[in-house]
């Protein structure tokens, strides 16, 4: 929602926030975390990304899909197709809690604006987050990056 490569107009952003407001408590009640919501085809297709410690199974996705189908019908959300899936190995990091949870892992961050050296992309080991600032070890150098200034942040898969 706050991170993404495409321009989202205010109306679409409001619809996304409203949709997340419906979906987040529904999936949280099932023991899952809402990682992201996406709409495409003018809101006709909804993509929901969920996670939990230990990862997501196909059965988890099916259970959440069945539950959300009922919840969205009750809430009057009009759509044609619903996809529920895992965020993948390169899971996006969006909230401060995500940065705290994945401390010690390698991440790839792209900032909205370059730093004083002109650099926008940072790949390093996440050391933690405090007061809206993530700390990374990038090639032996500690770098502090404001969460609000991030265009996107993702885990680097351990392959």
**Percent of the chain surpassing pLDDT 90:** 72
The closest alpha carbon to 129, from 114, 112, 109, 113, belongs to 109
Residue 13: pLDDT band by 50, 70, 90 thresholds? low
| pLDDT of 54 above 60 | yes
In a domain, 5, yes or no: no
The residue out of 38, 54, 85 marking a domain boundary is 85
Q: Do 80 and 102 share a domain, yes or no?
A: no
Tokens of 67: 């539950």
More confident residue, 42 or 92: 92
Averaged pLDDT, 33-50:
89
Question: Coil, strand, or helix at residue 39?
Answer: strand
Question: Coil, strand, or helix at residue 101?
Answer: helix
Q: Do 19 and 79 share a domain, yes or no?
A: yes
In a domain, 147, yes or no: yes
Q: What is the pLDDT of residue 57?
A: 95
Q: What is the pLDDT of residue 17?
A: 77
CATH no. for residue 114?
2.30.30.100
Beta pairing partners, 121: 110
Residue range 103-150, pLDDT digits in tens: 999 999 999 999 888 999 999 999 999 999 999 999 999 999 999 999
Q: Do 35 and 63 share a domain, yes or no?
A: yes
Q: Do 77 and 107 share a domain, yes or no?
A: no
**Burial level of 35, CB count in 10 A (0-12/13-18/19+)?**
buried
Q: Do 14 and 81 share a domain, yes or no?
A: yes
Q: What is the pLDDT of residue 20?
A: 86
Q: Do 40 and 102 share a domain, yes or no?
A: no
Q: Which domain holds residue 112?
A: 96-155
Averaged pLDDT, 44-72:
94
Beta pairing partners, 50: 34
Q: List the Cα angle 59/63/64 in 5-degree steps.
A: 120
In a domain, 140, yes or no: yes
| pLDDT of 2 above 70 | no
C-alpha distances in Å from residue 17, one per residue of 14, 20, 92, 99: 5, 5, 17, 21
Q: What is the pLDDT of residue 158?
A: 85
In a domain, 124, yes or no: yes
- Asked if 94 contacts 107 with a C-beta cutoff of 8 angstroms, the reply is no
| Rg of the chain in Å (alpha carbons) | 17
Whole-number average pLDDT of the chain: 89
């Amino acid at each position: 929602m706050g991170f993404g490569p495409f321009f989202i107009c205010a109306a679409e952003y409001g619809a996304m926030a409203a949709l997340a407001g419906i979906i987040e408590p529904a999936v949280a009640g099932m023991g899952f975390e809402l990682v992201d919501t996406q709409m495409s085809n003018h809101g006709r297709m909804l993509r929901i990304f969920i996670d939990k410690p230990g990862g997501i199974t196909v059965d988890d996705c099916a259970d959440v899909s069945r539950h959300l189908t009922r919840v969205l019908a009750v809430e009057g959300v009009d759509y044609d197709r619903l996809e529920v899936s895992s965020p993948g190995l390169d899971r996006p990091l969006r909230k401060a809690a995500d940065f705290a949870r994945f401390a010690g892992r390698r991440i790839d961050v792209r900032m909205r604006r370059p730093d004083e050296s002109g650099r926008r992309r940072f790949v390093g080991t996440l050391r933690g987050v405090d007061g809206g600032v993530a700390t990374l070890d990038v090639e032996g150098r500690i770098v502090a990056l404001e969460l609000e200034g991030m265009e996107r942040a993702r885990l680097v898969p351990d392959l």
